[in-house]
Amino acid sequence: MLATLSSRRDFDTDWLFERKLDGVRVLALRTGGGGVRLLSRGGKSLNGTYPEVVDALQAQHCADFAVDGEMVALRDGRTDFALLQQRLGLTDPKAARASGVAVTYYLFDLLRLDGQDTTALDLTVRKSLLRDALSFRDPLRFTAHRRRDGHELLDDACARGWEGLIAKRANSRYQYGRSTDWLKLKCSGGQEFVIGGFTEPAGSRVGFGALLIGYYQHGRLCYAGKVGTGYSTATLRSLRTRLDGIEQSGSPFDARVREARAHWVRPELVAQIGFTEWTRDGMLRHPRFLGLRDDKPAHQVVREAPAPTR
């Protein structure tokens, strides 16, 4: 179940609020006391990427469950997607454990328990069952929620440096796909974009100068601007190697992009980009690179627009 971006700020008591976490969605499954499977949104196995989470779930007394949650890396109490990036590409359990990057799996929903489908139950019932079914010790955490004024809670979340909040209808059932029963309330702009090209570095910079990014609309890749900040030297070098491997002769963007000496690439890589706002001409203001994502196909990346308030 996926949340819809919203600018809504007034909510009644039928809603609850959870902290918005800047990580990757992960489903965890265990059937009949067998082995635990961690799966990405696209169905990719993540057992080798997060072996300590597999161990923690395997040690649970509950032998049959399906849970939904967010895998994050924390720095000073805040979720740090750039830090999590160091774990995303690892598939060898030994390498993952030796990476030095600790992860935390925040669980927020229960899809199955002891052989029974729980998706038709109210969200508050599912969360109560989840809290009682599992033991929450590191690296597992239960995602707490509050049920008071959403505007006040969002102001507090932003003051703490959080990404924002997820507002959920307390009586909503679990639906596969995007729903307005779950709303994303963001403190600042940010979403996924497709990499369609890059520029050459200037001066002492290595790798590349900026990424040229976009999003899909009616099957066409629309240009959203260039991103020149947010990279470490290691990222500039490693990403340039990947970009060179998918370079193509022509631009993948629907409209002309006026960048001298631009290199074009097949639109396969997806990047998480933070920004302050959209400009009137459809470009990003103050964009910064946060990391690559492998949990969403490029063709599904669209411009997120707030759902109408009601």
At 257-270, the pLDDT tens digits run 999 889 999 999 99
Length of the chain: 310
Structure tokens at 208: 């590349």
- CB-neighbour burial class of residue 92 (10 A; exposed 0-12, middle 13-18, buried 19+): exposed
Work out the pLDDT band at 227, boundaries 50, 70, 90.
Answer: very high
Please compute the mean of the pLDDT values over residues 166-183 and round it to a whole number: 95
> What predicted TM-score, i.e. pTM, was given to this entire model?
0.76
Long-range contacts, 262-266 (Cβ 8 Å, 24+):
262/197, 262/198, 262/199, 262/212, 263/197, 263/198, 263/199, 263/200, 263/208, 264/196, 264/197, 265/195, 265/196, 265/197, 265/198
Among 20, 184, 186, 226, the active-site one is: 20
At 80-104, the pLDDT tens digits run 988 998 998 899 999 999 999 999 9
Q: Is the pLDDT of residue 310 over 60?
A: no
Name the average pLDDT for the chain: 93
Please compute the mean of the pLDDT values over residues 218-223 and round it to a whole number: 96
At residue 307, the pLDDT reads: 66
296 is catalytic: no
At 34-45, the pLDDT tens digits run 899 999 988 999
Q: Is the pLDDT of residue 48 over 80?
A: yes
At residue 225, the pLDDT reads: 96
Determine the Cα–Cα distance for residues 17 and 14; give it in Å rounded to an integer. Answer: 10
At 287-304, the pLDDT tens digits run 999 999 988 899 999 998
Share of the chain above pLDDT 70, in %: 99
Domains of the chain (ranges plus CATH)? 1-20+145-187 (3.30.1490.70), 22-142 (3.30.470.30), 189-300 (2.40.50.140)
